[in-house]
Amino acid sequence: MGGLLSRGGGALSAPGPLLTADELLGRPEEVAPALLGCWLVTDRPDGTVAVRLTEVEAYAGDGSDPAAHSHRGPTPRAEVMFGPPGRLYVYLSYGMHWCANVVVGPEGDGAAVLLRAGDVVVGEDVARARRPAARAARELARGPARLTRALAIGPVDKGTGLLSAAGAVRLHRGTPPAAVSAGPRVGISVATGLPWRFWETGAGSVSAFRPGGRPRRRGGQDGAS
């Protein structure tokens, strides 16, 4: 991890220490905004990419959130969500796009935070090769599917731990945003009134808000954590 630096706002910056499991033990709607500004880093054969998170969504466990994949219990799809905090839950949305979540809360709870968007702060050339359709840097990881493509996160990463320095996918502390906004979650058709989407106010990489979603499928709403 040494030497991983980015240049933003005219000054060099680097990720902070890895997050710890204790920092992820709170309720998802409390942990989610604390992840804004954190760095998600991947090491792949074609290079290292780091994304500074600018938008996240919280999904509760304990069966209380019908929009969460964990709502029906530890199904084969969602069992990772019931593991220890700091694991990566990856799922296929609408049969097309991979989305990434950080498991939070106590083991067995089933809570997670969907990683919706961020700024590529390291490895922009690598991210552009993975996302050639992006017209501007702010679009490289703007939205959950674009974020996973920029970071080359896919099904093989499901269940991987994010809190180890030896890991190929790592979650580091970063610089918190100056201001945080909150609003309804995106693309769901149940529990739509909860203001559990959090984003860095004014960040250009924040994805567009589209209320509502497709009819809920068995096991939870596709497009949600």
Span 181-194, pLDDT tens digits:
999 999 888 998 89
Residue 56 burial (C-beta neighbours within 10 Å; 0-12, 13-18, 19+): buried
Question: Quick check: 93 and 150 in contact, CB under 8 A?
Answer: no
- H/E stretch holding 29 reads helix 28-35
Q: Above pLDDT 70, what percent of the chain? A: 88
Span 31-73, pLDDT tens digits:
999 999 999 999 999 999 999 999 999 999 988 999 999 999 9
- Read off the pLDDT band of 3 (50, 70, 90): low
Span 139-174, pLDDT tens digits:
999 999 999 999 999 999 999 999 999 999 999 999
pLDDT recorded at residue 223: 43
Q: Does residue 21 or residue 212 have the better pLDDT?
A: 21
| Alpha-carbon span 174 to 52, nearest angstrom | 7
**pTM, two decimal places:** 0.89
Domain annotation for the chain: domains and CATH numbers: 17-200 (3.10.300.10)
Buried b (16+ CB within 10 A) or exposed e, 132-167: eebeeebbbbbbbbbbbbbbbbeeebbebbbbeeeb
What average pLDDT does the structure give for the chain? 89
DSSP class of residue 38 equals -
